[in-house]
Structure 1
Amino acid sequence: MFELVPLNAVPDAEVEALLDRAFGQDRHGRTAYMIRGDGIAIPTLSFAAVSGDVLLGSIQCWPIALMTAQAALPLVMVGPVAVAPGHQGDGIGRALVARALEVAAASDLGDALMLIGDPDYYGRFFGFSAERTGAWQAPGPVERHRLLALGGAVPDDAGMLGPRPGTAG
């Protein structure tokens, strides 16, 4: 069994070690890291899955924007979702995403969400799709079909994904 707690209840070093185990120590060069830049994760949408004092998984959500010719359109980037090796398939990742989306929907943060992920998984369980992301660009390589969005305010504009202005850490 596990419980979900606010991510800030877990030491940063433990979260970073989990992310290294899940994604590799070279993860900082990935496109998702370039999109979110030096921003600070949104505390109310970031959670940890713990069993006692053992960290089993985490999710972080980030303030980003789609930079168009006219404006910086706000989005929330969901992820990374990390689950400790040996606990994948236990429903931890799905529970983390569900909690983040539930809290986002109950606030003003749930109308324009995006992530880079498996379209079959995130589409089937959570309703994410690539139907509005076709004109989006990313600051690094991305498989177009994995650039997904959810929410009524998701922009269908052409633009570059990047850190939301004014949110640098």
Structure 2
Amino acid sequence: MVELLPLSDIEPQAVEDLLDAAFGSDRFGRTAYRIRQGMDAVPALSFAAVEDGVLIGTIQCWPVAHHAADGTATPVVMVGPVAVRPDVQRGGHGRALMVRMLEAAETEADSALMMIGDPEYYGRFFGFTADATGKWNLPGPYEKHRLLARAVNGHGLPTDAGMIGPR
């Protein structure tokens, strides 16, 4: 049976090992890592999937911001990575982690959510779209159609031009 636990209950090295297995040890050069560099994950929105005492998946969320040209910084929570151990992928564990995070976000999120991900999947199952992100920029390469966002917990999304980066 799979348990969904707070990520803070999991040994940090186990999380790093899972992320290496899911994304490779070169993952730190990706744009998503640049955005959240030096930040700590949001404990109330970050979870682990554990089966028989073994970590099989994680979801992390990060406090970032949309920085407009006029200097206004609007808080946003960056979702991801959603990682599942390669040998148990396609078992619904990533989806379960997303559902748990979204349930928590409805009461715990201090801002809207954003992510870099597959628009068909995250739109269809979780309500993320690129509707508000067309004028947003990231500090590195990315595909515009994969920059997604979702309002949550009464927090709207900025739609003006701006750079996503640390809060």
TM-score by length of 1: 0.94
Q: Does residue 1:159 correspond to 2:165, yes or no?
A: no
Quote the offset at 1:106 in angstroms.
Answer: 1.5
What does residue range 4-153 of structure 1 map to in structure 2 within 5 Å? 4-70=4-70, 71-109=72-110, 111-151=111-151, 152-153=155-156
Secondary structure of the structure 1 residue equivalent to 2:86? coil
Rounded to whole Å, the distance in 1 between the matches of 2:57 and 2:156 is: 29
> Which consecutive residues of structure 2, in runs of 5 or more, have no partner in the other structure?
none
Structure 1 residue ranges, 4+ long, deviating more than 4 angstroms after superposition: none
Secondary structure of the structure 2 residue equivalent to 1:55? strand
Counterpart amino acid of 2:164? L
Counterpart amino acid of 2:62? W
Quote the offset at 1:86 in angstroms.
Answer: 1.2
Quote the offset at 1:105 in angstroms.
Answer: 0.7
Contact 2:44 2:108 in 1 (8 A): no
> Which consecutive residues of structure 1, in runs of 5 or more, have no partner in the other structure?
165-169
Counterpart amino acid of 1:145? H
Cα displacement string for residues 66-112 of structure 1 (whole angstroms, at most 9, x for unaligned residues):
11023111000001000001111111000101111110112343x51
Cα displacement string for residues 99-139 of structure 1 (whole angstroms, at most 9, x for unaligned residues):
11110112343x51000000000000000000110000000
**Alignment coverage as a number of residue pairs:** 163
Rounded to whole Å, the distance in 2 between the matches of 1:137 and 1:107 is: 26
Secondary structure of the structure 2 residue equivalent to 1:86? helix
Q: RMSD of the alignment, in Å? A: 0.9
Cα displacement string for residues 32-60 of structure 1 (whole angstroms, at most 9, x for unaligned residues):
01111210000010000001210000000
Rounded to whole Å, the distance in 1 between the matches of 2:62 and 2:108 is: 15
Quote the offset at 1:17 in angstroms.
Answer: 0.3
Determine what percentage of the aligned residue pairs are the same residue. 60
